[in-house]
């Protein structure tokens, strides 16, 4: 089997073409049957028009092979680093597809992964929606997207993918296989928190999550000072100036996000509760991020902010034999700039914190259909 | 070329395939009814937004069709016609059940199978012409169908994943690429098909799987091997072409002309009784099965005189009757017949006729013949004794005899100074006597195509000679033959065709059913049969002459086309293949002597095929390059911008003015950046570009609906740019506030 390197970038595994294959379906079988029938009919009837039709049928096979073969010889595909996915939501995998042919266009090409497997595990995604390229002119390239719904959290190993096309006549599917090892992080499912949960976990200042901590360009009043040249006339506090007898200008607060520390304490939860806890933790982190609250995750020291925290949740493994120290729960502790006490979301009360209730049993870690 | 129109293409293919069937099976009614229902079904389903009839109903209808077809097959003969009619029924049901790409695929497949069925039924010119239209449309439909089906699959995948389906490629851009693929596919396909057509071996395996076409489907000639006088009605004037004839002189050059008539001899009728002429049971009949004809496919009659000039008839019969005997048309006297393919034959050496068993296909053959008047065996005439002469004349006497006809014949000879008594008349005067009778009939009787019944109980020939006075060629021939017999000259009626319609371009004659004719052969000397035609020659020419109206001329062109089609395509067989592929003459001659198989010049064949491929590939490549040059370069990343709508046309106008002023915006530079770049050198222009671009951006990418005021403001900006370009600089009044209306409009919408 010949291997052919189709692209190479420093520090990134290149896509390697590993082979070609052909697959015939019902239409191909029907065409073959028709061709044989035409040949027999021509010989049996000695009908010269049928001889010509038989020639056309054979020509169809040849032309199909030439067009699709020449087209796929110039097909170059490179998988781009896939953005993280989430269990239960369509994830996107992008490919850069190029047509290196000088004359032959590529039509109706499908790009699809051969398998979505979690490391050392079974398949972890539902049937993917392959990427589709309707037309790629000679010399052109484009970026296309394939969609897939992950059914399991974790790091999915992506290996081989393939480009296939039945063009021009749909008789035979011609397939070109590529290998480009890479990983795809699948984060826990996105669960919608109830309003009550959101209000509890997001620390609130006078205007929501913003907490004044010093002078700045915020909206809240901070203090007064003497007018200096260059100050905006709009900032002059006219009444205090009148009282003071000199021009005074208003100073405003500087907005600074609150911080919370999130900790998931599985406390001997079973596998299903563990997944639910991870999904709820991820949802809490996302809710905080959407409210402008900075988060840190207990156990994550990647310094990558919420992206790193969600990736850590994607890779989290349940420690075997851990002793329960209480009911499984998520603890949100206030950090710098956040007032109030810590919040605890118990998994046993998941129906209280999740809009629509907890997911169906097995929904967060299921076999793909 | 738009893949969304594939369903319509499927309808077109369906209609074309029905037309093919109608032409091939001579069933225009079926095709017309199919058209009406198909178009009706299409209109109905289109109005219902592509929703078809319920699947269960469609399935039930197809099942009923299948049951009906099986029932017909059990009660009648299974053939291609039945198969085609079943396909038409299914097509009509599927047109009403047209929802998804799969249904369109089924319609395409049905159309292809119906076209194949039609081709099986007939290889005629019009079937070929329709097939030539059908094939490119079919290839186009199949190519576009692949895109159509892929779009549907992409939409299904996207729906499953809960995402938006990818947008289709713009039709114009798509069409150019598809056109190139279509042209290449068609050109390559035709070349390969032509090669397969030429080199596929012919002749072997015929009817190995039984006969698929009913004999009734084949057209036969209107020629009959008997003459029945006394019927009423009109002579058949059908212009159906029966055969093509090329006459070659002894040097092999084609000869002929509009004034030259050739007689094609078919059946020889020697028995007369009650107005009916029929063939005599042959005494010297030779059966020759097809397999025993010999390698050179030639049959030789005895008696060839090498001293006399011989001519050649090259004849292509448009079709032969299926599984029925038919007379081969020859010249008089035939010496040698060479066939393009072997059929079972029966030769009657006494009258020199040939009967073949037809197979429904065209037949090409050549006949070497010598004019009868020259055909006298040396010394035989002198050597004949009076006894032999008497016996010959006695054998010629008609039975039963007709006193009325004998009286007329005797009177004619008396008036010509020839002794009517054969015993008293010299043998050398028989020719004169026959000519006198011929002249009598030509000069004293009229010609008509209207047939009338004779008086009840009267012999038709007597009635013609004594009462009626007018008749058609069979009456003339019958009258002369019987008159000759009454005066002791052995004579017989011959039926066949006269070739009168000569084409200068092809140097050949076209013979139609209306050219059927009857004449007489009389034994004017021992072993010397000479042709006499008592039909008045003027009348004969008038009946068989070719008028020169526009329609007739068009008809002749079509006939010539059909003739070329039959000769080159339909009649292409093993001998034509050997000629085309370079079987050398000496090989054929050796093969004719049975020395060896005919050889094929492999080098010549290979060279020809190679040259064809190179020429076609060259043409395809040039075409491809030309199309590549005219096609616009594709966007580098596959992104295709949507065309700018009419209401935003101020933006391209602005870009055009910038180009004219030498300030062309580079393709990748956004217009606002371009405005800032030129601000240093062209502040006024920069201001206008900035304002107009912001309005354009708001509508194009902000999704805002522009008010008429905003559009007018943008156009005022463009006009200002134009005036700057034409004047060299803007007026001082406008420079301080370049676009008041535009500014107002934009500020109003809070853009700035």
Query: For residue range A262-309, what is the model confidence (pLDDT) as tens digits?
Result: 888 887 778 788 888 899 999 999 888 888 788 888 877 777 788 889
pLDDT score recorded for residue B735: 36
Most confident residue range from A259-268, B40-49, B248-257: B248-257
pLDDT tens digits along B74-88: 887 677 888 999 999
Residue B300: strand, helix, or coil: strand
Contact criterion met (CB < 8 Å) for B361 and A46: yes
pLDDT score recorded for residue B23: 92
In chain B, what residues touch A137 (CB-CB under 8 Å)? 173, 177, 631, 634
CA distance A199 to chain B (A): 31
pLDDT score recorded for residue A76: 92
Closest among B494, B475, B473, B493 to B543, alpha carbons compared: B473
What span, in angstroms and rounded, lies between the C-alpha atoms of B256 and B249? 9
Contact criterion met (CB < 8 Å) for B142 and A40: no
DSSP string covering B54-111, please? -HHHHHHHHHHHHHHHHHHHHHS---HHHHHHHHHHHHHHHHHS--SHHHHHHHHHHH
pLDDT score recorded for residue B63: 92
Whether residue B65 contacts residue B112, with contact meaning beta carbons closer than 8 Å, is answered with no
pLDDT score recorded for residue B43: 85
In chain A, what residues touch B637 (CB-CB under 8 Å)? 140-143
In chain B, what residues touch A50 (CB-CB under 8 Å)? 116, 119-120, 123
Q: Nearest chain A Cα to B144, which residue?
A: A168
Whether residue B496 contacts residue B230, with contact meaning beta carbons closer than 8 Å, is answered with no
Interface test with B, best of A39, A132, A140, A164 (most B CBs within 10 A): A132
- Average pLDDT, stretch B158-162? 79
What span, in angstroms and rounded, lies between the C-alpha atoms of A99 and A315? 37
B353-359 sheet: strands from edge to edge: B285-288, B345-348, B353-359, B322-327
Question: Which neighbouring-strand residues pair with A111?
Answer: A131, A163
Whether residue B228 contacts residue B329, with contact meaning beta carbons closer than 8 Å, is answered with no
Interface test with A, best of B106, B112, B116 (most A CBs within 10 A): B116
pLDDT band for B92, please (50, 70, 90 cuts).
Answer: very high
pLDDT tens digits along B509-539: 988 888 888 999 988 887 788 889 999 888 7
Q: Is the pLDDT of residue A208 over 50?
A: no
CA distance B570 to chain A (A): 6
pLDDT tens digits along B319-340: 888 777 888 899 888 888 888 8
Contact criterion met (CB < 8 Å) for B177 and A66: no
- Average pLDDT, stretch B376-394? 51
Q: Nearest chain A Cα to B179, which residue?
A: A105
Interface test with A, best of B142, B157, B187, B576 (most A CBs within 10 A): B157
Q: Is the pLDDT of residue B18 over 50?
A: yes
pLDDT score recorded for residue B392: 56
In chain B, what residues touch A41 (CB-CB under 8 Å)? 116, 120, 212
What span, in angstroms and rounded, lies between the C-alpha atoms of B434 and B490? 10
CB-CB neighbours of A253 under 10 Å: 22
The three-point CA angle B173-B174-B179 to 5° equals 105
Between chain A and chain B, the number of residue pairs with CB atoms below 8 A apart is 191
What's the ipTM? 0.76
Question: Is it true that domain A4-187 has CATH number 2.60.40.10?
Answer: yes
The three-point CA angle B131-B137-B142 to 5° equals 120
pLDDT tens digits along B651-699: 888 988 888 888 888 776 788 888 888 888 888 888 889 889 888 888 8
Burial category of B255 from C-beta neighbours within 10 Å (exposed 0-12, middle 13-18, buried 19 and up): middle
Closest among B166, B42, B141, B159 to B92, alpha carbons compared: B42
A139 shares contact with chain B (CB less than 8 Å): yes
Residue A224: strand, helix, or coil: strand
The torsion angles phi and psi of A47, rounded to 5 degrees, stand at -95, 115
Contact criterion met (CB < 8 Å) for B160 and A50: no
Q: Is the pLDDT of residue A1 over 50?
A: no
pLDDT band for B120, please (50, 70, 90 cuts).
Answer: confident
Helix axes B430-444, B403-415, angle to 10 degrees: 100
Interface test with A, best of B87, B634, B636 (most A CBs within 10 A): B634
Contacts of B258 (CB under 8 A, 6+ apart): B500, B502, B546
The domain locations on chain A are: 4-187, 195-204+259-353, 211-256
Query: Which tokens sit at B506?
Result: 């092809």
Of B197, B202, B634, nearest to A52 by CB-CB distance is B197
Largest CA distance in chain B: 137
Contact criterion met (CB < 8 Å) for B193 and A58: yes
Pairing of strands B241-248, B508-512: antiparallel
B262-269 sheet: strands from edge to edge: B262-269, B491-499, B516-525, B528-532
Q: Nearest chain B Cα to A109, which residue?
A: B150
Q: In terms of pLDDT, which residue wins out, B470 or B553?
A: B470
In chain B, what residues touch A134 (CB-CB under 8 Å)? 147, 150-151, 154, 166, 168-169, 174
Contact criterion met (CB < 8 Å) for A108 and B146: yes
Q: Which long-range contacts (C-beta less than 8 Å, at least 24 apart) are formed by A357-363?
A: A358/A276, A359/A189, A359/A191, A359/A276, A359/A279, A361/A272, A362/A272, A363/A88, A363/A189
Q: Nearest chain B Cα to A66, which residue?
A: B185
A55 shares contact with chain B (CB less than 8 Å): yes
Percentage of chain B exceeding pLDDT 90? 17
Closest among B217, B7, B165, B181 to B101, alpha carbons compared: B7
Cis upstream peptide for B752 (omega within 30°): no
In chain B, what residues touch A105 (CB-CB under 8 Å)? 177, 180-181
Contact criterion met (CB < 8 Å) for B185 and A56: no
Whether residue B580 contacts residue B612, with contact meaning beta carbons closer than 8 Å, is answered with no
pLDDT tens digits along B272-283: 888 888 887 766
Residue B642: strand, helix, or coil: coil
Q: Is the pLDDT of residue B218 over 50?
A: no
pLDDT band for B563, please (50, 70, 90 cuts).
Answer: confident
Contacts of B362 (CB under 8 A, 6+ apart): B316, B317, B318, B319, B320, B566, B570, B571
Whether residue B404 contacts residue B499, with contact meaning beta carbons closer than 8 Å, is answered with no
- Average pLDDT, stretch B621-650? 60
Contact criterion met (CB < 8 Å) for A169 and B146: yes
A47 shares contact with chain B (CB less than 8 Å): yes
Interface test with B, best of A33, A44, A173 (most B CBs within 10 A): A44
What span, in angstroms and rounded, lies between the C-alpha atoms of B520 and B332? 12
Contact criterion met (CB < 8 Å) for B157 and A168: no
Q: Is the pLDDT of residue A226 over 90?
A: no
Q: In terms of pLDDT, which residue wins out, B466 or B175?
A: B466
Q: Is the dihedral of CA A199, A200, A204, A206 positive or negative?
A: positive
Interface test with B, best of A28, A49, A93, A112 (most B CBs within 10 A): A49
Contact criterion met (CB < 8 Å) for B113 and A167: no
Q: In A, residues 175-204, which contact B (CB 8 Å cutoff)?
A: none
pLDDT tens digits along B196-211: 888 888 777 776 776 6
In chain A, what residues touch B205 (CB-CB under 8 Å)? 43-44
CB-CB neighbours of A299 under 10 Å: 12
Of B161, B196, B200, nearest to A129 by CB-CB distance is B161
CA distance B726 to chain A (A): 40
CB-CB neighbours of B160 under 10 Å: 15
Cis upstream peptide for A19 (omega within 30°): no
Most confident residue range from A176-180, A215-219, A352-356, B470-474: A176-180
Task: Quote the DSSP letter at residue B258.
Answer: T
The three-point CA angle B186-B187-B188 to 5° equals 95
A90 shares contact with chain B (CB less than 8 Å): yes
CB hemisphere CA count around B670 (13 angstroms): 9
Of A43, A142, A168, nearest to B143 by CB-CB distance is A168
Closest among B454, B464, B522, B528 to B493, alpha carbons compared: B522
Q: Is the pLDDT of residue A152 over 60?
A: yes
Q: In terms of pLDDT, which residue wins out, A124 or B118?
A: B118
Contact criterion met (CB < 8 Å) for B212 and A127: no
CB-CB neighbours of A321 under 10 Å: 6
What span, in angstroms and rounded, lies between the C-alpha atoms of A5 and A16? 4
CA distance A67 to chain B (A): 8
- Average pLDDT, stretch B390-414? 76
In chain A, what residues touch B174 (CB-CB under 8 Å)? 134-135
Query: Which tokens sit at A264?
Result: 């998931």
């Amino acid at each position: 089997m010949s291997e052919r390197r189709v692209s190479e970038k420093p520090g990134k595994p290149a896509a390697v073409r590993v082979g070609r294959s052909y697959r015939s379906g019902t239409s191909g079988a029907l065409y073959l049957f028709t061709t044989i029938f035409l040949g027999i009919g021509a010989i049996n009837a000695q009908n010269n028009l049928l001889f010509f039709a038989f020639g056309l049928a054979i020509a169809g096979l040849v032309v199909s092979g030439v067009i699709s073969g020449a087209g796929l010889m110039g097909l170059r595909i490179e998988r781009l680093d896939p953005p993280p996915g989430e269990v239960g939501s369509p994830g996107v995998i992008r490919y850069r597809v190029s047509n290196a042919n000088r004359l032959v266009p590529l039509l109706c090409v499908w790009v699809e992964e051969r398998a979505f497997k979690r490391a050392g595990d079974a398949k972890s995604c539902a049937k993917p929606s392959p990427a589709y390229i309707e037309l790629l002119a000679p010399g052109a390239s484009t970026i296309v997207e394939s969609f897939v719904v992950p059914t399991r959290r974790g790091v999915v190993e992506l290996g081989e993918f393939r480009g296939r096309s039945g063009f021009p006549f749909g008789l035979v599917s011609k397939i070109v296989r590529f290998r480009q090892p890479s990983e795809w992080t699948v984060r826990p499912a996105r669960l919608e928190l109830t309003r009550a949960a959101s209000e509890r976990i997001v620390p609130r200042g006078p205007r929501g999550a913003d907490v004044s901590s010093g002078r700045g360009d915020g909206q809240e009043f901070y203090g007064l000072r003497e007018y200096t040249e260059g100050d905006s006339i709009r900032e002059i506090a006219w009444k205090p100036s009148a009282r003071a007898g000199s021009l005074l200008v208003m100073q405003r607060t500087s907005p600074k996000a609150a911080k919370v520390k999130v900790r998931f304490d599985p406390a001997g939860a079973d596998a299903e509760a563990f997944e639910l806890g991870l999904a709820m933790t991820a949802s809490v982190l996302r809710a905080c991020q959407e409210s402008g609250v900075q988060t840190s995750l207990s156990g994550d020291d990647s310094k990558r902010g919420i992206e790193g925290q969600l990736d850590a949740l994607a890779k989290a493994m349940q420690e075997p034999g851990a002793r329960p120290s209480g009911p499984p729960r998520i603890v949100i502790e206030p950090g710098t700039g956040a007032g109030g006490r810590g919040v605890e979301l118990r998994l046993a009360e998941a129906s209280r914190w999740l809009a629509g209730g907890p997911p169906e049993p097995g929904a967060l870690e299921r076999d793909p259909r | 070329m738009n893949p969304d129109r594939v369903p319509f293409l499927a309808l077109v293919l369906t209609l074309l395939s029905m037309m093919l069937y109608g032409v091939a099976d001579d069933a225009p009614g079926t095709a017309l009814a199919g058209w009406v229902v198909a178009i009706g079904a299409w209109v109905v389903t289109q109005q219902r937004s592509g929703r078809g009839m319920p699947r269960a109903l469609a399935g039930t209808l197809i099942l009923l069709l299948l049951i009906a077809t099986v029932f017909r097959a059990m009660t009648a003969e299974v053939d291609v016609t039945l198969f085609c009619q079943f396909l038409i029924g299914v097509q009509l049901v599927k047109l009403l059940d047209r929802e998804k790409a799969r249904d369109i695929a089924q319609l395409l497949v049905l159309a292809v199978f119906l076209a194949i069925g039609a081709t099986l039924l007939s290889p005629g010119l019009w079937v070929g012409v329709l097939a030539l239209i059908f094939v490119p449309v079919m290839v186009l439909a199949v190519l576009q169908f692949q895109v159509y089906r892929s779009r549907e699959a992409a939409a299904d995948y996207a729906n499953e994943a809960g995402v938006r389906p990818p947008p289709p490629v713009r039709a114009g851009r798509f069409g150019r690429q598809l056109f190139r693929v279509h042209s290449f596919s068609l050109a390559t396909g035709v070349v390969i098909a032509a090669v397969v057509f030429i080199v596929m071996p012919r002749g072997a395996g015929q009817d190995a799987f039984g006969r698929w076409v009913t004999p009734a489907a084949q057209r036969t000639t209107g020629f009959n091997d008997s003459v029945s006088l006394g019927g009423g009605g009109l002579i058949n004037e059908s212009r159906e072409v029966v055969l093509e004839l090329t006459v070659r002189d002894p040097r092999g050059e084609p000869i002929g002309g509009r004034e030259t008539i050739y007689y094609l001899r078919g059946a020889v009728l020697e028995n007369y009784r009650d107005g009916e002429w029929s063939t005599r049971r042959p005494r010297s009949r030779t059966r020759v099965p097809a397999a025993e004809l010999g390698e050179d496919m030639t049959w030789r009659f005895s008696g060839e005189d090498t001293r006399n000039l011989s001519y050649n008839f090259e004849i292509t019969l448009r079709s032969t009757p299926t599984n029925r005997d038919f007379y081969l048309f020859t010249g008089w006297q035939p010496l040698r017949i060479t066939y393009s393919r072997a059929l079972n034959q029966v030769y009657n050496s006494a009258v020199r006729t040939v009967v073949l068993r037809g197979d429904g296909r065209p037949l090409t053959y050549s006949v070497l013949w010598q004019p009868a008047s020259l055909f006298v065996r040396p010394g035989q005439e002198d050597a004949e004794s009076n006894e032999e002469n008497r016996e010959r004349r006695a054998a010629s006497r008609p039975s039963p005899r007709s006193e009325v006809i004998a009286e007329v014949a005797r009177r004619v000879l008396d008036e010509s100074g020839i002794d009517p008594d054969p015993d008293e008349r010299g043998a050398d005067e028989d020719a004169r006597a026959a000519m006198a009778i011929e002249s009598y009939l030509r000069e004293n009787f009229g010609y008509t195509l209207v047939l009338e019944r004779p008086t009840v109980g009267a012999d038709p020939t007597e009635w013609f000679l004594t009462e009626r006075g007018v008749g058609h060629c069979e009456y003339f021939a019958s009258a002369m033959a019987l008159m000759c017999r009454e005066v002791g000259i052995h004579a017989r009626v011959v039926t066949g065709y006269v070739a009168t319609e000569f084409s200068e371009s092809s140097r050949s004659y076209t013979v139609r059913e209306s050219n059927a004719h009857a004449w007489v052969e009389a034994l004017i000397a021992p072993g010397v049969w000479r042709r006499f035609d008592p039909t008045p020659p003027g009348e004969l020419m008038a009946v068989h002459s070719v008028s020169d109206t526009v329609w007739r001329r068009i008809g002749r062109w079509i006939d010539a086309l059909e003739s070329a089609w039959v000769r080159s395509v339909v009649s292409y067989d093993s001998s034509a293949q050997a000629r085309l592929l370079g079987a050398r003459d000496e090989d054929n001659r050796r093969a004719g002597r049975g020395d060896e198989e005919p050889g094929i010049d492999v080098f010549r064949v290979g060279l020809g095929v190679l040259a064809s491929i190179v020429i076609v590939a060259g043409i395809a490549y040039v075409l491809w390059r030309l199309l590549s040059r005219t096609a616009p370069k594709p966007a580098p990343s596959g992104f295709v911008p949507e065309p700018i709508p009419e209401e935003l046309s101020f933006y391209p106008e602005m870009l055009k003015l910038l180009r004219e002023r030498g300030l062309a915006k580079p393709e990748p530079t956004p217009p606002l950046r371009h405005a800032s770049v030129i601000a240093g050198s062209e502040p006024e222009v920069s201001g206008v570009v900035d304002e107009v671009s912001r309005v354009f951006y708001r509508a194009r990418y902000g999704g805002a609906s522009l008010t008429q005021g905003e559009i007018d403001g943008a156009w005022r900006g463009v006009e200002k740019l134009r005036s700057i370009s034409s004047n060299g600089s803007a007026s001082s009044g406008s420079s301080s506030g370049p676009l008041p209306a535009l500014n107002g409009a934009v500020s109003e919408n809070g853009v700035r």
